[in-house]
Structure 1
């Protein structure tokens, strides 16, 4: 058995796209240190609506708004530690509320999963370092940061943990140790800068091998990476891991961190065609990340 989650036997297993992408499409300005997580406090209904957009597009799993949520991030805005903890828990409960609404409207469809997002340390910094992994921290400092959120999210109703956009071997090793003692299964996805290397320059194949023996990690893969790199990266994964292979790339557009704007275009049908190639290469869990909206997930779902 690869997993305790029977829903994952429905392949290809389609997950959601970029939560921030849909929130911005709703008209929300996310230029903020907490990014999507600020709406946990300001407009929780908007998060539920965004999750529902992906569920209605065919997603079988939605990822919570906790990617950039942390105790330090919330307390820096004046919240108490207790209020910060509750806000992180609320990210999962908002996703659960969306699933409950969807399932009530679609009772014959199996109940979608909720994955609690665990973003990299660089997401908390909000300075683009989540795409380099160059934090200048010790393993102990990274462990202290991630331990808090993992403990909080593991105690929620989430079905699994989604460790996302991990840029470095160092951070992956720390998360691997922490995940091994959690009660929930997890997936871990790297951000990659080309067809062979994760963002810190380490080989993807070597990075994956470090995680292969962790029974709590049920899937390994790639997210927030340009889609043109995926065929080669999936090929590397298929020869390295026996776990499920998960990929949810960005649209291939370029993000300019100084202006916090995107440049480029991406077509949902082109994305759907590309997803067929990812599945044929060995990926079994498919979705989208930045700039991949419900229309992309609908196209992937309907064509696969």
Structure 2
């Protein structure tokens, strides 16, 4: 089997945690419950955005993700009263604030650390609807792929124009939307991205398609530009079976995998809140198993903090040390 993708063996990199969760430590008003979620703070609390990124960088994140998951041109026009151009500029501002955080971090490190990367968050169409349909992907049954691509286009263009190192296409619930974005990437030939699905169990993505088939389809559609495919904002216990299914039978050339689940809590759409937090195992307890299955981008999503990221990084280092001690080639270094 020949290798068609960006890399058959990628270096392990630690991704940051739940931006909105961490942001709540830097603002005095609720972050959740707004149609724009954390993206509205780009306009009102830019320094809090920078400080949130810095929290994750200081915790050991190699990649920070912009808070544009719920940002869109039409959303900023509707809820912030901005013009189309102003909305695009605000999306670009998210990258500029992340760059400011990286510059500050590198200055603190006296240039001795590897420069962290900035991933522009590209959340699903359903997140803009503010009806929790990003948890089901039902909109994919009534919105065409062309419509989905054209909705995603201006945000992706703005993030790349502002200098994002890659795009984090994340929490995608439906195969059709993921494939539309994988195809759209070709219009930005210099861009690199990962695509991460939301999943409802250890086999299927939120809309119901089998994860291994949806993820492989995206990879095969655009292996040159995709850095990885995988999962995010799902229960940690689902990650291992999903990842194992993706690379089953691909020992000669495994697909690089990204995984950054939430804390394991349940989101109650009736309450609009996370529940059952007392029943969750810490995310870091799963990390070494994921790395052994080929995950090379690993972090946390909703309800995970800078402390979780610090513990995830520690587990990555332990895993790598164990591989080195036994003479087994590791995926790389964090």
TM-score by length of 1: 0.94
Corresponding residue number in structure 2 for 1:295: 307
Corresponding residue number in structure 2 for 1:94: 97
Corresponding residue number in structure 2 for 1:218: 227
Corresponding residue number in structure 1 for 2:198: 191
What is the deviation of 1:237? 1.9
Q: Secondary structure at the match of 1:199?
A: coil
Could you list the per-position Cα deviations for residues 2-28 of structure 1 after superposition, in whole angstroms to 9, with x for gaps in the alignment? 549xxx9542x1010010010123344
Corresponding residue number in structure 2 for 1:253: 265
Corresponding residue number in structure 2 for 1:145: 151
CA distance in 2, matches of 1:258, 1:64: 28
CA distance 1:115–1:48, shift in 2 (3 Å): same
Q: Secondary structure at the match of 2:119?
A: strand
TM-score by length of 2: 0.86
Are the aligned partners of 2:102 and 2:116 in contact in 1 as well (CA < 8 Å)? yes
Range that drifts further, 90-99 or 176-185: 176-185
What is the deviation of 1:284? 1.2
CA distance in 2, matches of 1:52, 1:28: 20
Corresponding residue number in structure 2 for 1:60: 62
What is the deviation of 1:238? 2.2
Could you list the per-position Cα deviations for residues 19-39 of structure 1 after superposition, in whole angstroms to 9, with x for gaps in the alignment? 001012334412211101000
Range that drifts further, 175-184 or 258-267: 258-267
Corresponding residue number in structure 1 for 2:243: 234
Are the aligned partners of 2:265 and 2:280 in contact in 1 as well (CA < 8 Å)? no
Are the aligned partners of 2:11 and 2:296 in contact in 1 as well (CA < 8 Å)? no
Corresponding residue number in structure 2 for 1:14: 14
Are the aligned partners of 2:137 and 2:174 in contact in 1 as well (CA < 8 Å)? yes
Q: Which runs of 5+ in 1 are unaligned?
A: none
Runs of 4+ in 1 over 4 A off after TM superposition: 1-4, 266-269
CA distance in 1, matches of 2:261, 2:130: 20
CA distance in 2, matches of 1:201, 1:126: 21
Q: Alignment partner for residue 282 of structure 1, among 291, 294, 317?
A: 294
CA distance in 1, matches of 2:127, 2:278: 24
CA distance in 2, matches of 1:74, 1:16: 25
Q: Alignment partner for residue 243 of structure 1, among 255, 262, 265?
A: 255
Q: Alignment partner for residue 49 of structure 1, among 48, 51, 59?
A: 51
CA distance in 2, matches of 1:41, 1:266: 35
Could you list the per-position Cα deviations for residues 123-145 of structure 1 after superposition, in whole angstroms to 9, with x for gaps in the alignment? 11121111111112122221220
Are the aligned partners of 1:64 and 1:116 in contact in 2 as well (CA < 8 Å)? yes
Q: Alignment partner for residue 126 of structure 1, among 126, 130, 133?
A: 130
Could you list the per-position Cα deviations for residues 46-80 of structure 1 after superposition, in whole angstroms to 9, with x for gaps in the alignment? 11101000001000000001111100000002101
Corresponding residue number in structure 2 for 1:23: 23
Q: Which runs of 5+ in 2 are unaligned?
A: 317-334
Number of positions where the alignment pairs a residue of Structure 1 with one of Structure 2: 300
Are the aligned partners of 1:269 and 1:299 in contact in 2 as well (CA < 8 Å)? no
What is the deviation of 1:270? 3.0
Structure number, greater radius of gyration: 2
Could you list the per-position Cα deviations for residues 203-230 of structure 1 after superposition, in whole angstroms to 9, with x for gaps in the alignment? 0111012112311111100000101111
CA distance in 1, matches of 2:302, 2:213: 26
CA distance in 1, matches of 2:277, 2:306: 16
Could you list the per-position Cα deviations for residues 259-285 of structure 1 after superposition, in whole angstroms to 9, with x for gaps in the alignment? 221112269983222111111122111
Corresponding residue number in structure 2 for 1:105: 108
Q: Secondary structure at the match of 2:277?
A: coil
